[in-house]
Amino acid sequence: MKTKKWRKGVRKAILLTILLAALAFAIFRLFVANKKVHVDSSKLSLVAKEFVILLSDDSLNSSDYLLSSSMVTFAAAVNSCASMSASLAETRTARDRADLAMRLSTLRPRAWWLAASDREEEGVFRWLSDGERIQQEPGEVWSQGQPDNWPGQPGHPEEDCLSVVFDLDGRKKWRWNDLDCKTKLNYICKMKKST
Protein backbone atom coordinates (compact mmCIF):
# COMPACT_ATOMS: atom_id res chain seq x y z
CA MET A 1 0.00 0.00 0.00
CA LYS A 2 2.80 2.41 0.92
CA THR A 3 4.65 1.53 -2.28
CA LYS A 4 1.59 2.33 -4.36
CA LYS A 5 1.17 5.76 -2.71
CA TRP A 6 4.87 6.42 -3.07
CA ARG A 7 4.79 5.59 -6.81
CA LYS A 8 1.75 7.82 -7.28
CA GLY A 9 3.58 10.68 -5.53
CA VAL A 10 6.67 10.16 -7.67
CA ARG A 11 4.56 10.18 -10.84
CA LYS A 12 2.91 13.45 -9.80
CA ALA A 13 6.31 14.99 -9.06
CA ILE A 14 7.66 13.90 -12.44
CA LEU A 15 4.62 15.26 -14.27
CA LEU A 16 4.87 18.58 -12.42
CA THR A 17 8.57 18.82 -13.28
CA ILE A 18 7.84 18.14 -16.95
CA LEU A 19 5.07 20.75 -17.00
CA LEU A 20 7.30 23.36 -15.35
CA ALA A 21 10.12 22.60 -17.79
CA ALA A 22 7.73 22.92 -20.75
CA LEU A 23 6.43 26.24 -19.41
CA ALA A 24 9.98 27.55 -18.88
CA PHE A 25 10.91 26.47 -22.41
CA ALA A 26 7.82 28.16 -23.90
CA ILE A 27 8.61 31.40 -22.09
CA PHE A 28 12.26 31.12 -23.15
CA ARG A 29 11.22 30.69 -26.81
CA LEU A 30 8.85 33.67 -26.58
CA PHE A 31 11.66 35.98 -25.54
CA VAL A 32 14.31 34.58 -27.85
CA ALA A 33 11.97 35.29 -30.79
CA ASN A 34 12.29 38.99 -29.93
CA LYS A 35 15.75 39.83 -31.25
CA LYS A 36 16.19 42.69 -28.77
CA VAL A 37 16.08 40.36 -25.79
CA HIS A 38 18.93 38.04 -24.90
CA VAL A 39 18.31 35.28 -22.40
CA ASP A 40 21.42 34.27 -20.49
CA SER A 41 20.99 30.50 -20.25
CA SER A 42 23.73 30.22 -17.63
CA LYS A 43 21.38 31.96 -15.19
CA LEU A 44 18.20 30.03 -15.98
CA SER A 45 18.57 27.96 -12.81
CA LEU A 46 17.91 31.14 -10.82
CA VAL A 47 14.83 31.76 -12.90
CA ALA A 48 13.26 28.32 -12.77
CA LYS A 49 11.37 28.48 -9.49
CA GLU A 50 10.37 32.04 -8.77
CA PHE A 51 11.10 34.08 -11.89
CA VAL A 52 9.70 33.80 -15.35
CA ILE A 53 12.62 35.12 -17.37
CA LEU A 54 15.93 36.89 -17.27
CA LEU A 55 16.08 39.95 -19.48
CA SER A 56 19.55 40.96 -20.49
CA ASP A 57 20.71 43.53 -22.99
CA ASP A 58 23.58 45.99 -23.36
CA SER A 59 21.07 48.84 -23.48
CA LEU A 60 19.94 48.11 -19.93
CA ASN A 61 22.89 49.81 -18.24
CA SER A 62 24.89 46.62 -17.65
CA SER A 63 22.14 45.06 -15.54
CA ASP A 64 19.94 42.01 -15.83
CA TYR A 65 16.27 42.10 -14.92
CA LEU A 66 14.45 39.19 -13.32
CA LEU A 67 10.67 39.30 -13.58
CA SER A 68 8.83 37.52 -10.80
CA SER A 69 6.15 34.96 -11.40
CA SER A 70 4.81 35.37 -7.87
CA MET A 71 2.77 38.21 -6.42
CA VAL A 72 4.00 39.58 -3.10
CA THR A 73 3.83 42.72 -0.97
CA PHE A 74 6.28 45.57 -1.56
CA ALA A 75 8.40 44.59 1.48
CA ALA A 76 8.53 40.95 0.38
CA ALA A 77 9.61 42.04 -3.12
CA VAL A 78 12.45 44.15 -1.68
CA ASN A 79 13.55 41.22 0.52
CA SER A 80 13.33 38.67 -2.30
CA CYS A 81 15.56 40.76 -4.56
CA ALA A 82 18.03 41.40 -1.73
CA SER A 83 18.24 37.66 -1.00
CA MET A 84 19.76 37.26 -4.49
CA SER A 85 22.18 40.19 -4.09
CA ALA A 86 19.91 42.22 -6.35
CA SER A 87 17.62 45.18 -5.81
CA LEU A 88 14.07 46.03 -6.71
CA ALA A 89 14.27 47.72 -10.12
CA GLU A 90 14.47 51.47 -10.57
CA THR A 91 13.56 53.13 -13.86
CA ARG A 92 15.14 56.55 -13.46
CA THR A 93 15.59 57.53 -17.09
CA ALA A 94 13.27 57.66 -20.09
CA ARG A 95 15.49 55.07 -21.76
CA ASP A 96 15.21 52.68 -18.78
CA ARG A 97 11.44 53.09 -18.78
CA ALA A 98 11.15 52.55 -22.54
CA ASP A 99 13.41 49.47 -22.52
CA LEU A 100 11.55 47.87 -19.65
CA ALA A 101 8.12 48.78 -21.06
CA MET A 102 9.02 47.09 -24.36
CA ARG A 103 9.91 43.92 -22.52
CA LEU A 104 6.90 43.98 -20.20
CA SER A 105 4.44 44.57 -23.04
CA THR A 106 4.27 40.90 -24.01
CA LEU A 107 3.66 39.66 -20.47
CA ARG A 108 0.34 39.06 -18.81
CA PRO A 109 0.89 40.72 -15.43
CA ARG A 110 -0.06 44.35 -15.86
CA ALA A 111 1.33 45.73 -12.60
CA TRP A 112 4.83 45.40 -11.11
CA TRP A 113 6.55 46.81 -8.02
CA LEU A 114 9.39 49.30 -8.55
CA ALA A 115 11.90 50.54 -5.95
CA ALA A 116 10.48 53.81 -4.66
CA SER A 117 8.25 54.97 -1.83
CA ASP A 118 6.91 58.08 -0.12
CA ARG A 119 6.75 56.44 3.34
CA GLU A 120 9.23 58.91 4.83
CA GLU A 121 7.47 62.05 3.58
CA GLU A 122 3.97 61.89 2.11
CA GLY A 123 3.90 63.02 -1.51
CA VAL A 124 7.70 62.89 -1.92
CA PHE A 125 8.69 59.66 -3.65
CA ARG A 126 12.32 58.60 -3.27
CA TRP A 127 14.36 55.79 -4.81
CA LEU A 128 15.18 53.11 -2.24
CA SER A 129 18.83 52.71 -3.25
CA ASP A 130 20.00 56.23 -2.48
CA GLY A 131 17.00 58.25 -1.28
CA GLU A 132 17.10 60.55 -4.32
CA ARG A 133 13.84 62.41 -4.78
CA ILE A 134 11.79 61.48 -7.83
CA GLN A 135 10.76 64.53 -9.77
CA GLN A 136 7.01 64.55 -10.30
CA GLU A 137 6.23 64.40 -14.00
CA PRO A 138 2.44 64.07 -14.20
CA GLY A 139 1.28 62.70 -17.54
CA GLU A 140 4.75 61.67 -18.66
CA VAL A 141 5.76 59.08 -16.11
CA TRP A 142 2.76 58.93 -13.77
CA SER A 143 -0.70 57.76 -14.80
CA GLN A 144 -3.22 60.57 -15.01
CA GLY A 145 -4.17 61.81 -11.53
CA GLN A 146 -1.29 59.93 -9.87
CA PRO A 147 0.16 59.80 -7.33
CA ASP A 148 -3.09 60.23 -5.45
CA ASN A 149 -2.59 58.34 -2.15
CA TRP A 150 -6.12 57.01 -2.62
CA PRO A 151 -7.99 56.68 -0.35
CA GLY A 152 -5.49 58.02 2.21
CA GLN A 153 -8.27 58.66 4.70
CA PRO A 154 -8.45 57.56 8.35
CA GLY A 155 -9.02 53.82 8.58
CA HIS A 156 -7.82 53.20 5.01
CA PRO A 157 -4.28 52.27 4.01
CA GLU A 158 -2.23 54.93 2.31
CA GLU A 159 -0.64 54.35 -1.07
CA ASP A 160 3.07 54.75 -0.37
CA CYS A 161 4.77 52.35 -2.79
CA LEU A 162 5.58 52.74 -6.49
CA SER A 163 4.30 50.39 -9.16
CA VAL A 164 4.39 50.43 -12.94
CA VAL A 165 0.97 49.65 -14.41
CA PHE A 166 -0.26 49.19 -17.98
CA ASP A 167 -3.17 51.24 -19.27
CA LEU A 168 -4.43 52.55 -15.95
CA ASP A 169 -5.58 55.76 -17.60
CA GLY A 170 -6.68 54.40 -21.01
CA ARG A 171 -3.59 55.58 -22.91
CA LYS A 172 -2.25 52.08 -23.60
CA LYS A 173 1.12 52.85 -22.02
CA TRP A 174 3.11 51.80 -18.98
CA ARG A 175 2.81 54.48 -16.29
CA TRP A 176 3.61 54.79 -12.62
CA ASN A 177 0.99 54.49 -9.90
CA ASP A 178 1.14 54.64 -6.10
CA LEU A 179 -0.39 51.67 -4.30
CA ASP A 180 -0.89 50.35 -0.78
CA CYS A 181 2.40 48.60 0.05
CA LYS A 182 0.51 45.52 1.24
CA THR A 183 -1.00 44.96 -2.21
CA LYS A 184 0.38 41.83 -3.83
CA LEU A 185 2.00 42.43 -7.23
CA ASN A 186 4.64 40.85 -9.39
CA TYR A 187 8.02 42.56 -9.12
CA ILE A 188 11.22 43.20 -11.03
CA CYS A 189 14.69 42.60 -9.60
CA LYS A 190 17.72 44.30 -11.07
CA MET A 191 21.01 42.43 -10.94
CA LYS A 192 24.43 43.70 -11.92
CA LYS A 193 25.88 41.67 -14.77
CA SER A 194 28.76 39.46 -13.85
CA THR A 195 31.97 40.31 -15.67
What gap in Å lies between CA 70 and CA 184, rounded to an integer?
9
Statement: residue 37 has pLDDT above 60? no
Let me know if 194 is exposed, middle or buried by CB neighbors in 10 A (0-12, 13-18, 19+): exposed
What gap in Å lies between CA 139 and CA 21, rounded to an integer?
41
Q: How many CB atoms lie within 10 A of CB 159?
A: 21
The mean of the pLDDT values for the chain is: 75
SS3 category, 86: coil
The larger pLDDT score, comparing residue 175 to residue 155, is at 175
Q: Which helix or strand (DSSP H or E) is residue 148 part of?
A: none
Whether 122 contacts 147, CB under 8 Å = no
* Span 73-103, pLDDT tens digits: 999 999 999 998 899 999 888 888 888 888 7
- Listed range (52-61, 106-115, 119-128, 155-164) with the worst mean pLDDT: 52-61
Whether 53 contacts 191, CB under 8 Å = no
User: What global pTM score does this model have?
Assistant: 0.69
Percent of the chain exceeding pLDDT 90 equals 29
Whether 39 contacts 32, CB under 8 Å = yes
HEC profile of 14-58 = HHHHHHHHHHHHHHHHHHHHCCCCECCHHHHHHHHHHEEEEEECH
* Span 126-145, pLDDT tens digits: 999 999 999 866 567 888 88
What gap in Å lies between CA 168 and CA 104, rounded to an integer?
15
The span from the first CA to the last CA of the chain, in angstroms, equals: 54
Q: How many CB atoms lie within 10 A of CB 19?
A: 10
Statement: residue 156 has pLDDT above 60? yes
- According to the model, what pLDDT value does residue 181 have? 95
Span 182-188, average pLDDT:
94
Q: Which helix or strand (DSSP H or E) is residue 187 part of?
A: strand 186-192
